Amino acid sequence: MTAPDAVRNGFWDRLQRIDRRWIYAVIWLVVMLPLIFPFSIKPEAMPPVSRLFSYIDTIPEDKALVISIDYTPDTQAELHPMTVALLRHAFATGRRVGMLATQVYGLGLGEEALRQVSAEFNEKAVTHEDSVINGEDYVFWGWSTPFLTVMLGMGERITNVFPVDYYGVATESLPITSRIKNYNDVGIIMSIAGSSTPISWVAYAQTQFGVRIGCGTTAVSAADYYTYLNSGQFTGMLAGMRGAAEYEQLLADKLAAAGSSLSLRRKATEAMSSQTAAHIAIIVFIVFGNIGYFVTRRRKS
């Protein structure tokens, strides 16, 4: 065996025996560095996302966007950017928003998203009409139980289900209440969930009252929902971090085309740069690992 062959074979032998802790260290680096120094990516929107964006973008002015916070803090990293992107889209196009939580854990998440996005728009506002006002442009109904009663009751009259909002104000006293009385005033309900809750919205709210339903879900759950998407029961779907990043990109393109001065941080897109780097690193590990395996097996045989 020549010297170069010995060096090459020694490299592959060492590669097969590498301490897995080095692999974990490399993965940690390629995940963390793009989060600290994100590189620019431009996600191409898939049909479920572009279809949803187009529908929300063309909702009649007398129809509201209702967002149901059906997720909990354990899935916040993946799903919360969807809520933020939807709120930004609604406020940028002058759509009224109604928000509710289907479980107690979602109350803080919903309030955080509303506070963040309203502050972003109000920072640039110069008149009352440019501002995003609680009770006029959006309402946070809060949480009530049981869930089935909430879904069916909102189809009759929302104030019967939520007599006071999240902040303790009588909903009948809010100006927005005259515009959002029941599902007849709703353009679409977006269920952002880490569970099967969007199917319940289809089974009760859509089947009983004919309101359109869209969903945002974790990547691991998306496969369960394509049946509903293909049948038209879901108007559109945001699947995982990528779905949120695609929606952020569509909104950024729309704002840029309109000459908007809003500069909005896109957390899902930033996270996708980290995810992309991690996937590339894993692919490289797999390729080198397989090459090393076949090289060493051939030499032994």
Helix (H/G/I), strand (E/B), else coil: 75: helix
- How much of the chain, in percent, has pLDDT values that exceed 70? 96
At 296, give phi and psi (nearest 5°).
-70, -35
DSSP 187-240: EEEEEEESSSHHHHIIIIIIHHH---EEEEE-GGGGGGGHHHHHTTSEEEEEEH
Q: Which CATH number fits domain 47-265: 3.10.620, 1.10.3470, 3.40.50, 1.10.287?
A: 3.40.50
Q: What is the pTM of this model?
A: 0.86
48-90 tens-digit pLDDT: 999 999 999 999 989 999 999 999 999 999 999 999 999 999 9
Distance of CA 115 to the CA centre of its chain: 17
Q: Are 217 and 225 in contact (CB under 8 A)?
A: yes
Range 77-106 average pLDDT: 95
Whether the CA torsion 70, 76, 78, 82 is positive or negative: it is: positive
Task: Report the C-alpha gap between 125 and 128 in whole angstroms.
Answer: 8
Question: H or E stretch including 98?
Answer: strand 97-101
Burial 9-36 (b: 16+ CB within 10 A, else e): eeebeeeeeeeeeeeeeeeeebeeebee
Q: Which residue has the higher pLDDT, 211 or 194?
A: 211
pLDDT in tens, 160-172: 999 999 999 999 9
Per-residue model confidence (pLDDT) at position 92: 93
